[in-house]
């Protein structure tokens, strides 16, 4: 039940909450601030998987957990990144645009990258992976809810304004429930792997934020844009990582490679919240 209904439905509701807060102008903003958007997306889609791969050379892990770390790095920014960007004093419009565009690109990018990572890390133990079916599933549980939410915002703005806070709270609750459920289902693995996963994920989070801040400033972006990109890189959509892990499961239970995404769902706030408090002083 958790895999077949609860996980996809929860992710769909979370993505619906994202869509209700979006307008078509958020996508048009790509043309208005192309430098910041292209930089943010490049760091997200290319930079984070490279960072994860390099860290796995330093922190060797069992194949399933290593694949899970790569799966996490493929995921776009989380839906709470926009709120955290606002708290840090970053450019909220840029954060919203990066979250929206990266979530759509992920529909194509994630299945392809997952297929590569499975062969690279799991080898003969890799589960059967149908790139097309994963892409279709991701489209149905991510893009469609976002589009529905945007349509509600476009045609019933007042109604969208009223339900957006409710959906945001519901999305946060569902996120917590998914993280707790994923850890509970794999509790024995979690207790044995937290010691080796914790340092890697903590390092990944810290470096991702520093990369966002440093490279954005090197490219001449404003402090607000740099903060936005840094938080977007630090806050991953762990729910998507857990859901994709569920789609790959062949045993009816959450696969081991859901663990890194579940643990990161905790680590990223432990790291990002203190970081954004420091950013406010910048």
Domains of the chain: 36-132+171-279 (1.20.1530.20)
Is 191 exposed, middle or buried (CB count within 10 Å of its CB: 0-12, 13-18, 19+)?
exposed
Give the chain's count of helices (H) and strands (E).
14, 0
Q: Are the C-beta atoms of residues 78 and 235 closer than 8 Å to each other?
A: yes
Is the confidence at residue 188, as pLDDT, over 80?
Answer: no
pLDDT of residue 3: 52
pLDDT tens per residue, range 28-53: 777 778 888 899 999 999 999 999 99
Mean pLDDT of the 185-208 span: 87
pLDDT in tens, 79-132: 788 788 888 888 888 888 888 888 889 999 999 999 999 999 988 888 888 899
Query: Residue 4: is its pLDDT beyond 70?
Result: no
Which of the residue ranges 27-31, 73-77, 167-171 has the most confident prediction, judged by mean pLDDT?
73-77
Please report which confidence band the pLDDT of residue 202 belongs to, taking 50, 70 and 90 as the band edges.
Answer: very high
Q: What are phi and psi of 281, to 5 degrees?
A: -85, -10
Handedness of CA 79, 85, 90, 93 (dihedral sign): positive
Question: Both tokens of residue 122?
Answer: 């799991």
């Amino acid at each position: 039940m958790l895999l077949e209904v609860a996980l996809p439905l929860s992710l769909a509701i979370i993505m619906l909450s994202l869509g209700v807060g979006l307008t078509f102008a958020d996508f048009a903003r790509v043309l208005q601030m192309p430098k910041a958007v292209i930089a943010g997306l490049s760091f997200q889609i290319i930079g984070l998987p490279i960072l994860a791969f390099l860290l796995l050379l330093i922190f060797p892990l069992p194949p399933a957990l290593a694949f899970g770390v790569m799966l996490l790095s493929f995921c776009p920014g989380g839906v709470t990144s926009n709120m955290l960007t606002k708290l840090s004093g970053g450019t909220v419009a840029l954060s919203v645009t990066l979250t929206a565009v990266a979530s759509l690109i992920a529909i194509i990018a994630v299945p392809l990258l997952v297929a590569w990572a499975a062969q690279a890390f799991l080898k003969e133990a890799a589960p059967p992976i149908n790139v097309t079916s994963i892409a279709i599933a991701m489209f149905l549980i991510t893009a469609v809810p976002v589009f529905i939410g945007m349509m509600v915002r476009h045609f019933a703005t007042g109604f969208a304004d009223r339900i957006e806070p409710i959906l945001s709270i519901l999305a946060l609750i569902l996120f917590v429930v998914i993280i707790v459920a994923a850890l509970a289902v794999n509790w024995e693995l979690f207790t044995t792997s937290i010691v080796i996963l914790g340092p890697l994920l903590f390092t990944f989070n810290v470096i991702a934020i520093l990369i966002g801040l440093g490279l954005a400033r090197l490219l001449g972006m404003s402090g607000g844009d740099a903060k936005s990109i840094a938080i977007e890189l630090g806050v991953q959509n762990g729910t998507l990582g857990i859901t994709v892990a569920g789609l790959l499961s062949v045993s009816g239970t959450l696969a081991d490679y859901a663990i890194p995404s579940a643990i990161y769902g905790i680590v990223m706030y432990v790291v990002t919240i203190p970081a954004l408090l420091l950013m406010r002083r910048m």
